[in-house]
Chains A and B, each alone.
Chain A
Amino acid sequence: MKFQDMGGCRWELPREGEMRVPGLLFADKSMLPKMESEKVAEQVRNVACLPGIARFSYAMPDAHWGYGFPIGGVAAFRQEDGIISPGGVGYDIACGVRLIRTALEYAAFKEKIPALLNIIYSAVPAGVGESGPLRLDKKSIRAVFEHGARWAAGRGFGSSSELDFIEDAGCCREADPDCVSERAAERGRTQLGTLGSGNHFIELQETEEIYDEAAASAYGLFKGQLVVLIHTGSRGCGYQICEDYLRLMLSASQKYGIRLPDRQLACAPLASEEGRRYAGAMFAAANYAKANRQCIAAAIEKAVCAVSGMGPAQAGLGTVYDIAHNMAKFELHELDGKKKRFCVHRKGATRAFPPGHEEVPQRYRAVGQPVLVPGSMGSCSYVLAGMEQAMQLSFGSVCHGAGRLMSRSQALKQVKGGQLREELAEYGVEVRAASLRGLAEEAPCAYKDVSMVAGVCESAGLARKVAKMRPRGVIKG
């Protein structure tokens, strides 16, 4: 496959065949062979064939093979003739990350990390089939779908003052609980406040480096600080919504004469009833995910207070930001000199809005939206800030993490969970895991170098580095 070097870590895949737009990969030259061998480029080309796609079909530097869309894929579809695709969002709808800051210094708190991990591990159910502390009746689950993190804050899970620091202020207004199936609602009733399994985690981290003092100060970050990163999503109800609508979209694609290069790209026109219903259900799942992270954050904050012996204010607890990286959102972007409405699909990619954007919380508006980029448990994570150029280059989108380098089965062949836990302990990372096998699947060697991914984002002008954090305690589902 021929990539054309566009400079600035951008590589174009020229239009050919049924592609409606070219592809655009953000990558270092050394990343391209892997992206090609993993069929990321092929998947970028498939997405480029979908109706109403604008500018480019994109792959972020952490992109790797996915189902239909690559993970790390971004595509914006015009409101008037575009489509919406559950496969462009993923099964774990609104899977995302939340960063909690504290006023505590890691070095002073180091000895208490095991105790803090133990309390969080017992308070936040992790692993498969684990149900949470809440049993939601039909009315309550509907309210969660409708109000998201606002529902949780209203019931004492965290503070309402933190909602401004959640994407969409904690609630997607486009959510329509009537579009969520009974099955999906049922699966959601017992899982609120649970972490799940796979790559989901809670990490206690130390802020190791600050690159941008102004932005770090606005976000409340400082060197040596103890912060907590949560990674989870909409759990079983999100998977069920995706599955329900993929079935519907297979028929809808036929009905509207949309040729699919891959079944997982099944979709419907944005203007269709099927498209409208999926959007309503997807936003409801996003609200569930926001409420889930809100409940988990509340449990973590309680644990920090218990272990530190401080109140929330004294411990300096607060939300830096909470943002999804598996979503389709209706956004205004400029195209050909005019502001137009697009449905921007980000599957394993993060929205990154620049300074001055009205969607960025007032407190951060001068520096840009925080972008949370988790690495593996043996490396580091980054906080980036959105930049103006990203609006033109990628519809305000950037990477979502390190990106997998090897499959779970490949990782299992190379790594033993028990040994990995010991190695991480020697490296200064305490681990609590529901399953050693699950731990091995998420071994650091299974992931790309997150520093390289963050570096490409910065070089391409998509986002700039603000802070780097090192994991010190990890909870894995």
Chain B
Amino acid sequence: MVSAGAARHKALFRRAASGLLKVFRLRAPKGRDKKIRLRLQMPDLDALLGAWLNEVVYLVSSGKIVPQKFVIEEIGLNKNGARLCASITGFKPGRGLKMREIKAVALHGLQIKKRGGRLQVSFITDI
């Protein structure tokens, strides 16, 4: 179970991704620098957070990038639900990448809650 909290959605999404990264226990030889930009659209913010985290799972698991910095450029609601623009900077892993296998971030119980003026979320990684 990974938990994250923040005052605003942008910071919450960033911290949740950083928390997820710790679960991977990555040991990655450094390759060339890399930046990946993402755009996501989902029915609501909870689903958007799930999709964002699972993008990170995919990118790390498939060796596309070892993230060092998450930047949430834009997040918000529109007539189709919730959308996100973000960038991930880091490096392409070299040979000998080691990590824990994470199948996915489960949607079960993934709900952004507001407590005492702060946004909080807990999520489960399927290992």
Contacts and interface: CB of A to CB of B under 8 A. Distances in A.
Interface of A: 66-68, 87, 91-92, 128-129, 183, 186-187, 196-198, 236, 239-240, 242-243, 246-247, 250-251, 254, 262-264, 266, 408, 477
B126 A91 contact: yes
A37 B99 CA distance: 33
Contact of B124 (A67, A128, A243): A67
Nearest to A200: B101
8 contacts: A68-B108, A129-B61, A129-B99, A187-B61, A239-B126, A250-B43, A262-B108, A264-B108
B100 interface: yes
B42 A92 contact: no
Contacts of B62: 183, 186-187, 236
Contacts of A243: 54, 57-58, 104
B123 to A, nearest CB: 11
B110 interface: yes
Contacts of A197: 100-101, 127
A146 B99 CA distance: 31
Interface in B54-89: 54, 57-58, 61-63
A408 B127 contact: yes
8 closest Cβ pairs, A-B complex: A67-B108, A264-B108, A128-B101, A67-B106, A91-B103, A263-B107, A239-B103, A197-B101
B47 interface: yes
A236 B50 CA distance: 18
A242 B101 contact: no
Contacts of A186: 62
Contacts of A183: 58, 62
B55 to A, nearest CB: 9
Interface string B110-127: 100000000000001011
B98 interface: yes
Contacts of B110: 263
B108 A240 contact: no
Given A68-B108, A183-B62, A250-B107, 16 more contacts: A67-B106, A87-B107, A91-B103, A91-B104, A91-B126, A128-B100, A196-B101, A197-B100, A236-B62, A243-B54, A243-B57, A243-B58, A247-B42, A250-B43, A263-B108, A266-B107
Nearest to B54: A243
A239 B57 CA distance: 10
Residue in B42, B106, B108 whose Cβ sees the most chain A Cβ within 10 Å: B108
| SS of B interface (majority) | loop
Interface secondary structure of A, over-half rule: helix
A129 B51 contact: no
Interface of B: 42-43, 46-47, 50-51, 54, 57-58, 61-63, 97-101, 103-104, 106-110, 124, 126-127
Contacts of B57: 243
Contacts of B108: 66-68, 87, 262-264
Most buried by B among A196, A246, A266: A246
B108 to A, nearest CB: 4
B104 A239 contact: yes
A188 to B, nearest CB: 11
Contact of A129 (B46, B58, B97): B97
A275 to B, nearest CB: 18
Contacts of A250: 42-43, 47, 107
B126 A67 contact: yes
A477 B100 CA distance: 11
Among B62, B63, B103, which residue has the most Cβ atoms of chain A within 10 A?
B103
A240 B58 contact: yes
Nearest to B57: A243
A64 to B, nearest CB: 14
Nearest to A239: B103
Nearest to A184: B58
B51 A247 contact: yes
Given A243-B58, A247-B42, A408-B127, A129 B107 contact: no
B100 to A, nearest CB: 6
Contacts of B98: 128-129
A20 B98 CA distance: 46
Contacts of A92: 103
A70 to B, nearest CB: 11
A198 B101 contact: yes
A203 B82 CA distance: 47
Given A67-B106, A239-B103, A263 B46 contact: yes
A420 B110 CA distance: 34
Contacts of A239: 61, 103-104, 126
A247 B52 CA distance: 11
A139 to B, nearest CB: 20
Nearest to A251: B43
A182 B61 CA distance: 15
B47 A236 contact: no
A19 to B, nearest CB: 19
Between B58, B97, B107, the greatest number of chain A beta carbons within 10 A of the residue's beta carbon is seen for: B107
